[in-house]
Amino acid sequence: MLKVFEDFDITLVGHYQSILEAEGIATFMKNQFGTSGAGELPFIEVIPQLWVLNEADAGRAEGLIRDLRHPGGPDLLQAWDCPACGTSHEAAFTQCWNCSTLRPDPPGEKN
């Protein structure tokens, strides 16, 4: 399995899941009920995550989600490195947890 999307908005994750399923991509949602334990679990553990069961579908799934989020725009789903301290972050983070630097604007289209 490969994770293709995560967001604290479970409605959004569920929406993308239904779209991927409609495209014939088998998916699995993790942390679907995680928010109920948000007070006890580490922050990262309760982000609803969308996974694809077949890694062969991951590229297509990521492309679909990217188009949904930012039609023709820059890819904000990429993991990023803090420009100030170099810490690596998952795409869901908009601010460096280490030094509080905000995520820089993405460099534009990849590939």
Residues found near Zn ion in the complex (CB under 5 A)? 82, 84-85, 87, 96, 98-99, 101
3-class secondary structure, 50 = strand
Smallest distance from the beta carbon of 88 to Zn ion, in angstroms? 10
Token output for 62: 């990521």
Cβ-based nearer residue to Zn ion, 4 or 82: 82
Cβ-based nearer residue to Zn ion, 78 or 87: 87
Smallest distance from the beta carbon of 84 to Zn ion, in angstroms? 5
Smallest distance from the beta carbon of 44 to Zn ion, in angstroms? 16
21-38 burial, b at 16+ Cβ within 10 Å, e below that, comes to eeeebebebbbeebeeee
What is the rounded CA–CA span in Å between residue 14 and residue 106?
25
Q: Residue 57: name the closest of 35, 87, 26 by CA.
A: 26
Cβ-based nearer residue to Zn ion, 35 or 78: 78
Smallest distance from the beta carbon of 86 to Zn ion, in angstroms? 7
Q: Residue 13: name the closest of 92, 111, 108 by CA.
A: 92
Cβ-based nearer residue to Zn ion, 4 or 96: 96
